[in-house]
């Protein structure tokens, strides 16, 4: 698996929508979060295990979302995660949400920076070594250069 590119299937449930059957804007953040969590799990890292065994957690430090088209009740979606930058204590990811049956229909995009923090004091700390080692060699060249700053 390429850890710098990942997709995760989702479905829109009634609880995700407003009265018109359109996904409520804040729920796009949940869809993106689920994809990032499953991306991390696919790499062999559970959020809970990282918190308890390594005493680190990830927290969103910045997010920008652009809404293109609405997702609707019962839609099948594909959320993607692409790591664009790996620094000592943070990751930046580009995310997209598309319709599963028509991948040309881009519904939303997000740029998300997550910071790695000490799980007790919530102060920045370095990414777990194993995760960093798996990510850096697979990143595009400009993103790899950013890891030296």
Map tokens 């028509």 to a residue.
Answer: 102
Kindly give, in sequence order, each residue whose CB lies less than 8 Å from that of residue 129, ignoring residues fewer than 6 positions away: none
Q: How far apart are the first and last CA of the chain?
A: 27
The reported pLDDT for the residue numbered 133 is 79
The SS3 call for residue 38 is helix
d(CA 48, CA 53): 8
pLDDT tens readout for residues 120-143: 999 999 998 888 877 766 666 555
pLDDT tens readout for residues 12-58: 999 999 999 999 999 999 999 999 999 999 989 999 999 998 999 99
Beta bridge partners of 118: 56
Q: What is the mean pLDDT of residues 75-92?
A: 94
d(CA 84, CA 21): 33
Architecture of domain 5-140: Roll (3.10)
Sorted by where each begins, the domain ranges of the chain are 5-140
Q: Is 18 a catalytic residue?
A: yes
Residue tagged active-site, from 18, 75, 102, 118: 18
């Amino acid at each position: 698996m390429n850890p710098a590119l990942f997709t995760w299937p989702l479905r829109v449930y009634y609880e995700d929508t407003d009265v018109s059957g359109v996904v409520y804007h804040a729920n796009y953040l949940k869809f993106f979060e689920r994809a990032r969590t499953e991306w991390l799990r696919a790499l062999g890292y559970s959020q809970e295990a990282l918190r308890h065994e390594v005493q680190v957690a990830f927290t969103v430090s910045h997010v920008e979302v652009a809404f293109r088209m609405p997702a609707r009740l019962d839609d099948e979606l594909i959320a993607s995660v692409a790591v664009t930058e790996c620094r000592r204590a943070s990751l930046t990811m580009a995310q997209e949400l598309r319709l599963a049956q028509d991948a040309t229909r881009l519904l939303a995009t997000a740029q998300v920076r997550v910071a790695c923090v000490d799980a007790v004091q919530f102060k920045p700390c370095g990414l777990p070594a194993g995760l960093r080692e798996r990510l850096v060699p697979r990143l595009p060249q400009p993103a790899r250069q950013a890891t030296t700053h």
